[in-house]
Each structure stands twice: as C-alpha cells, then as structure tokens.
Amino acid sequence: MFSPGYVQHTVGWPVDSSTYAGSFLYHMKPNLIHVGLVVGLNYKNPYINPYEEFQQLKTHPQIAKFLEGGQCISYGARALNSGGYFSIPKLVFPGGVLVGCSAGFMNILKIKGSHTAIKSGI
C-alpha cells in the first residue's frame, strides 16, 4: 500500500464535533510513513487525552491499512501555537530569533508549519 508522495489530511474524527482536530499521513521514500494528529488546546472536555485520540485514529480503516505490518521507528509531540497576528510573541532577543511555528507563523487550517519556518529563514 506504500506510495511515495501520497498525502492524506483529515479533519475531526476521532474527537467530538466541538474539538478542533486534524490528522496528516505522508508517504516518504524509501519506505516511511509519517502520521500525526493535531488537537487544538481549547477543547472543552477536560478529560480528553490527545495521545489516546491518536491511538484511536490509527485504528480507522483508511489509516490502519497503511500502518499494518510496520514498526514505529520514532515518535514525538509538540505544542503548536496559533491565534493570529495579536498572538505573535516578541520575535528577537539577545542572541536569538523566533521563526516558523515557534513564532506563531503557522497556517493552522492547512497544518503547514514547516513551510512557514522555511520562508522565515529565507
């Protein structure tokens, strides 16, 4: 089922309709699949567990078929800040600069942070 260049984005499931969430699945050469779930931190349910939601996401037939027989070679987690122009922090400090996602330059609707990080560097 591996197809280099294949991209799949989803919105919603497995979270409830009042929670912002979306997933991504990217097929990369030589034989890797990157999969993840983004959950907005303004969820109303105090018991939601993004890790458990991600585990449930991987059981969906449209995701599971790509992961069957594979093995996890690495994993990670991070917070993605969003909120628009007025949420952008001070970008420079002695000896450093914030760029890309860390600076709040994420296109949250398209889950595009790496692109904005690259553009920040340019």
What's the pLDDT tens digit per position in 43-71?
A: 888 899 999 999 999 999 999 999 999 99
52 phi and psi angles, rounded to 5 deg: -65, -35
What's the pLDDT tens digit per position in 66-111?
A: 999 999 999 887 777 777 788 888 989 999 988 877 788 877 777 6
pLDDT of residue 55: 94
Helix (H, G, I), strand (E, B), or coil: what is residue 23? Answer: strand
In whole angstroms, what is the distance from residue 36 CA to residue 34 CA? 7
pLDDT of residue 111: 66
- The residue type of 66 is F
What's the pLDDT tens digit per position in 2-22?
A: 788 899 988 889 999 888 888
In whole angstroms, what is the distance from residue 98 CA to residue 75 CA? 24
pTM: 0.74
- For residue 98 the two structure tokens come to 């914030």
pLDDT of residue 41: 80
